[in-house]
Amino acid sequence: KNQVEQSPQSLIILEGKNCTLQCNYTVSPFSNLRWYKQDTGRGPVSLTIMTFSENTKSNGRYTATLDADTKQSSLHITASQLSDSASYICVVSAWGGSYIPTFGRGTSLIVHP
Partner 1 sequence: DGGITQSPKYLFRKEGQNVTLSCEQNLNHDAMYWYRQDPGQGLRLIYYSQIVNDFQKGDIAEGYSVSREKKESFPLTVTSAQKNPTAFYLCASSPGPFRTVSYNEQFFGPGTRLTVL
**Does 17 engage in binding with partner 1 (CB under 8 A)?**
no
How near is the Cβ of 99 to partner 1 at its closest, in Å? 4
Element (H, E) at 20: strand 19-25
**Does 103 engage in binding with partner 1 (CB under 8 A)?**
yes
Q: Site map for partner 1, 39-78, x if CB under 8 A?
A: --xxxxxx--x-x---------------------------
**Does 101 engage in binding with partner 1 (CB under 8 A)?**
yes
**Does 112 engage in binding with partner 1 (CB under 8 A)?**
no
State how far the Cα of 100 lies from the Cα of 90, in Å rounded to an integer: 14
How near is the Cβ of 42 to partner 1 at its closest, in Å? 6
Cα within 13 Å of Cα(93), Cβ side: 15
Degrees (nearest 5) of the Cα angle 69, 59, 42?
100
Q: Which of 25, 48, 7 is nearest to 101 (CA)?
A: 25
The site for partner 1, by CB under 8 A, has a size of 23
Identity of the residue, 18 or 51, whose beta carbon is nearer to partner 1 in the bound complex: 51
| Helices and strands, number each (H, E), in the chain | 0, 11
